[in-house]
Structure 1
């Protein structure tokens, strides 16, 4: 059971690659000897998406993180007066 496919083999035998994924699990595609991609079933993909944590950006912009902080829309913030030298 070989779950590694060179990119040229994956392209030429995509149907076989897909069948191997369905029957044997994730299949790794390599390019120039380096692992570059993985083919997984849609069921596995959906499970991974559900388990994914929110990004730092989404976490910081969430209502829980903001609390009472009011974030003005871009361009509507208060500008500081220039300092005269």
Structure 2
């Protein structure tokens, strides 16, 4: 169901109840979709299958021997002049 922003504000409790019972509710602003109200259960279901940033970083490509050696060979001191 679509709700104008004004109706959504005036009937927020009903909007939330319908989101919980009937699924996502679209809120429009000047006739265009502006927001979607989801039940907590729907939101949790969407988030459940998304990896976190940490998961994404840890799932990066494996380092082959050549890359590992290049990292080990790099200078151990900062490349910038640390003197101020």
TM, length-normalised to structure 2: 0.64
Mark the structure with the bigger radius of gyration.
Answer: 2
Q: 1:26 aligns with which of 24, 27, 46?
A: 24
| RMSD of equivalent CA atoms | 3.1
**CA shift at 1:23, angstroms?**
1.8
Structure 2 unaligned segments of length 5 or more: list them.
Answer: none
Matches within 5 A, 1:1-85: 3-54=1-52, 59=56, 61-62=57-58, 64-65=60-61, 67=63, 68=68, 78-79=78-79
Runs of 4+ in 1 over 6 A off after TM superposition: none
TM, length-normalised to structure 1: 0.64
More helix by share: 2
